[in-house]
Amino acid sequence: MSRHQIGNIVSVAYSLVRLSLKKLIGGGRIKSGIIERISPNVVIDVDSKSKLFLGERVRIHSGSRLTAAKGGKIELGKNVRINNNCRIACREHIVVEDGVEFGPGVLVYDHDHKFDAKSGVSEKEYHTAPVKIGKKTWIGANTVILRGTEIGANCVVGAGSVLHGKYPDNVVITQPKETKIKPIS
């Protein structure tokens, strides 16, 4: 058996124990399949008013973080793959449907600060709107998905995109960036 296979078995066993404890403590607020592969250094924060539902065979790699607060609900479908150093932060509702894959460094937020509050962002008030990512969509590295975004099924999102709005099924979404080079004067 290869080192990689042994690592996978250890991750699955660790995930089973970890999620079983979280489900026991969290009651019906946390649900998952039996076979999950979540790296030991993934942070999962679900407060007492929030929910986390994981479909079968979810894989979450090293350095990622799932946070559900203030009654937020995160739903990850079957066969969702979240690469290294991703973040899903939820205060309302985030749905990632079956077969979605995240490249490294993807950030998903269903909220942002009310910067116009009396004391600015320090008041910790937020605007929220649900986020939905359709089946079999691939999200490229370092993409940021903002509140109120809905991405259709079978889409490809180019690396480094910042998305807000609604995108139909079966499209490639890119945000070309132009490199400008000029001499130092």
Query: Residue 110 has what DSSP assignment?
Result: S
Between CA 78 and CA 75 the distance in angstroms is 10
Residue from 113, 67, 59 nearest 87 by CA: 67
The pLDDT of residue 38? 86
The pLDDT of residue 121? 62
Residue numbers in the chain where pLDDT is lower than 70? 4, 7-28, 117, 119-123
The pLDDT of residue 107? 98
CATH number of 3-173: 2.160.10.10
CA dihedral 88, 166, 172, 82 (to 10 degrees): 10
pLDDT digits (tens, 9 = 90+) for 139-172: 999 999 999 999 999 999 999 999 999 999 999 9
**Residue ranges of the domains in the chain?**
3-173
The pLDDT of residue 15? 65
| Residue 70, phi-psi category: left (phi > 0), alpha (psi -120 to 50), beta (remainder) | left
